[in-house]
Amino acid sequence: MSASGRILSKPIRVVIRWQCLATVALTLLAGVLAGVHGALSAALGGAVSVSAGWASGMVATAGREQSAGGILVTALKAEGVKLGTIAILLALVLAVYAEVVVLAFLGSFMATALIFSMAFFVREHNQPRP
């Protein structure tokens, strides 16, 4: 894999991949249930969460602090970037896309946001299980 593919940590890369797969599945489901606007709304909801996760991961991996305080500051910065990105993108989609299917949009966003929290359970390295 190229050096640019290794910028984000393995847990972040894995959950972003899971988020993308969930977004595709929810987009197809919303398309069947609510048509084109439902599919686009679900895709945008997932894209908001994926974008926020990516931005958060970039901030988290940029800080390579070794002290406990430095790690905490970096984690708080990453969380702030994620929340800010979410707020801006949610507001932007709701303001610009008049035909948004809110249930598909928010449902896809919430499902993919929950997936991001699973990064904690992804191991960084291949370690044998006890």
- CA 46-52-124 angle, to 5 degrees, is 100
Mean model confidence pLDDT for the chain: 88
Residue 13 has pLDDT above 50, yes or no: yes
Distance (Å, rounded) from C-alpha 94 to C-alpha 83? Answer: 16
**Nearest one of 65, 71, 62, 53 to 17, comparing CA atoms:** 53
Q: Which of 21-35, 50-64, 96-110 shows the lowest per-residue confidence on average (mean pLDDT)?
A: 50-64
Residue 69 has pLDDT above 70, yes or no: yes
Q: Are 102 and 41 in contact (CB under 8 A)?
A: yes
